[in-house]
Amino acid sequence: MEKKPFVTKSQVEEIVKTYPTPFHLYDEKGIRENAKKVKEAFAWNPGFREYFAVKATPNPYILKILQEYDMGCDCSSYTELMLAKSCGFDGKHIMFSSNDTPAEEFAYADELGAIINLDDFTHIDFLEETIGHIPETISCRYNPGGVFELSNGIMDNPGDSKYGMTKDQLIEAFKILKDKGAKHFGVHAFLASNTVTNEYYPKLAGELFELIVELKEKTGCDIRFVNLSGGVGIPYTPDKEPNDIAVIGEGVHKKFDEILVPAGLGDVSIYTEMGRFMLGPYGCLVTKAIHEKHIYKEYIGVDACAANLMRPAIYGAYHHITVLGKENAPCDHVYDVTGSLCENCDKFAVDRKLPEIDMGDYLVIHDTGAHGFSMGYNYNGRLRSAELLLKEDGSVKMIRRAETPEDYFATFDCFDDIRITK
């Protein structure tokens, strides 16, 4: 499908008068429309809730938009829990899905009344020793091992992943947790990442539904929810068709009716923890071309770098690029589009066919709404950019300011002789 930016050249020219590039821009209209569709797709399940994966886009303004659609949030660290609390999320609308969890994080999650999702069998004792009891509601993460494969060739390797418990451990865990006082149970699994197919959730749901029927038989536990976690993908490349969440919701519904209803488990709630699907397409990184370089290849240097968007540098991930104002120009040039880090992987695009780029052109790097800003860092003393929200009425609100050198120096405040100087 053709990839079009949600912002125009004239809008960006207006925005940069107040907020210089680079910046991440989010599309409120797109976020809201998508959130509504997600809600509708699972409306057949009265207990349904999306717990947005905070790590994808940890910004309170974004979280508050999703909150309007009854969404909760999924946290995996102390500070993410703090963020959820500061946004006013009720404990039961906070999922704590972490792994290799420090004791104080379990304690804080319990204090907030969050639903704790245990990554490992040994965490039962660890949690009990830490907080002095086992919560009434508890969830366990499942890892079936082996290979997870869909009919269109998409596959992933749960057997190689560090997360979750084996089936035997899960059965044992439920028995122990029940003995220790847990009353309500949930099961969670995340078996494949960025799946651009409507098949993933239904297949995963089918496996988890069969699993909970077995768990119910073997342990007698009261299983209240199945958490399908994240993994629903977005089409980063133009050759892919976007997932249809309504079709996905119906696919899960069908499995539910086939497996859970006949087993007397028709009151189980479906939870999801999507990040990428909720926000990915509704954010972009706007950057300006500031250098062109001709050596063995043609390079365009922009004012953003991998510190603003890390996915291309670490995974070689494709992010589509549009040169604003040249949307319909022929892509008859081949460029590497680079940032300024002293790392050769700091390239937003390699051998990319683009229209001829002039200095000062604005480039939109697509699909940075999830796992974009949030993966940013300060390597090379680079500072994180602002995050801006393009509101439904076309106005722009800054929802996070850009970092300044003062922020970079802030953690040296403890030393009297380290001062910021120009």
Min dist CB 193 to ligand PLP, Å, is: 5
Non-local CB neighbours of 184 within 8 Å, separated by 6+ positions: 136, 137, 138, 222, 224
- CA–CA separation, 156 vs 360, rounded Å? 41
From residue 19 to residue 58, what is the string marking binding to ligand PLP with x (rule CB under 6 A)?
----------------------------------x-xx--
Cα atoms in the 13 Å half-sphere on the side-chain side of 293: 14
Q: Within positions 270 to 309, which residues make up the interface with ligand PLP, using CB under 6 A? A: 273-277
Nearer to ligand PLP, 52 or 335 (CB): 52
Q: Within positions 94 to 123, which residues make up the interface with ligand PLP, using CB under 6 A? A: 97
Nearer to ligand PLP, 45 or 117 (CB): 117
| Listed residue (179, 213, 95, 192) closest to 143, CA to CA | 192
User: In what helix (H) or strand (E) does residue 95 lie, and over which residues does it extend?
Assistant: strand 94-97
Out of 8, 130, 193, 269, the only residue in the binding site for ligand PLP (CB under 6 A) is 193
Min dist CB 153 to ligand PLP, Å, is: 19
Nearer to ligand PLP, 161 or 169 (CB): 161
Min dist CB 156 to ligand PLP, Å, is: 11
Residue nearest to ligand PLP (CB): 230
Residue 360: both structure tokens together = 């000062």
Options 36-44, 64-72, 268-276, 402-410: segment touching ligand PLP (CB under 6 A): 268-276
- CA–CA separation, 369 vs 363, rounded Å? 16
Min dist CB 102 to ligand PLP, Å, is: 16
Q: Does 370 bind ligand PLP (CB under 6 A)?
A: yes
342 carries an active-site annotation: yes
3-state secondary structure of 377: coil
Give the Cβ contact number of residue 80 at 10 Å: 20
Q: What is the DSSP string of 223-268?
A: EEEEE--S-B----STTSPPP-HHHHHHHHHHHIIIIITTTT-TTP
Active site residues: 342
Binding site residues, ligand PLP, CB under 6 A? 53, 55-56, 74, 76, 97, 190, 193, 229-232, 273-277, 370
